[in-house]
Structure 1
Amino acid sequence: MSAVKLSDRPSLRSPGLMKYDKARQTELLLLPERVVELNDTAGAILRLCDGQRTVTQLIEELETVYVQTGLGDDIVAFISSAAERGWLELCN
C-alpha cells in the first residue's frame, strides 16, 4: 500500500456506513458481515472522510475541534491503518 499523502481525499469504502449507537453511546462502522466499534477520535476522523476533504483539511478541522496542534502524524497513521484494513479509499 502506498503512503498516505496530505493531498489524498479519503472516503469510506462502499458499502461501509457510519452509525451512532445511542444505546452504547459509541460510533460504529458497519461493514459487510462485521461491525467495528470505534472510539470517539476514530469516529470523528472517519465521519470527515467524505472524499471531498484532503488529509490536510481533515487535520486542520480536527485540530480546531480538539483545540490542539500536532495531531497530523496520528491522523495520518490512523488513515493509513484504516485504508490498509479496507475501511477507506484514498483518492487524489
Structure 2
Amino acid sequence: MSPIGRDQALALRRGFRLQWEPRQGCHVLLYPEGMIKLNASAGLILERVDGQRSVAAIIDHLTESFPGVPGIDEDVLAFLEVAHAQFWIE
C-alpha cells in the first residue's frame, strides 16, 4: 500500500457515513456491519474528508484552527494512513 500523498483528495469509502452521535458524545463512523466510535481528533479530520479537499488543504485548515500545536501534519497523515488501511477512506 502506498503512502497517502498531500495532493490526494480522499473520500469516505462507499457505505460509510460520518455523523455526530449525541448519546456517545462523539463522532461515529457508521457502516453496514456496525459503528466505529471516533476520538475528537479523528472526527475533526474525517469531517473534512469529502472527496474534494486535498490532504494538504485538510492539514492547512487544522493548522490554522489549532495554531501553535506542533506536529499536526504528521498526526493527520498518520491517522489517514490508519483510516486507509482500515478501509474507512479511499
> 2:81: which partner in 1?
80
Unaligned runs of 5+ in 2: none
Aligned length: 89
Select the structure with the greater relative contact order (CA < 8 A; seq sep ≥ 6). 1
RMSD: 1.0
> 1:23: which partner in 2?
23
Write out aligned runs for 1:1-92 (5 A): 1-67=1-67, 68-89=69-90
Identity of aligned residues (%): 31
User: What is the DSSP-based 3-state SS (H/G/I as helix, E as strand, rest coil) of the residue aligned with 1:11?
Assistant: coil
**Could you state the TM-score of these two structures normalised by the residue count of structure 2?**
0.93
Q: CA shift at 1:59, angstroms? A: 0.3
Q: CA shift at 1:70, angstroms? A: 3.1
Unaligned runs of 5+ in 1: none
Q: Which amino acid letter does the alignment assign opposite residue 40 of structure 2?
A: D
Take 1:8 and 1:76, find their aligned partners in 2: how far apart are those partners?
A: 11
Structure 1 or 2: larger strand share?
1
User: What is the DSSP-based 3-state SS (H/G/I as helix, E as strand, rest coil) of the residue aligned with 1:42?
Assistant: helix
Q: Which amino acid letter does the alignment assign opposite residue 53 of structure 2?
A: R
Q: Deviations over 1:51-87 (max 9, x none)?
A: 1111100000011112235311110010011001000
* Structure 1 runs, 4 residues or longer, greater than 4 Å off: none
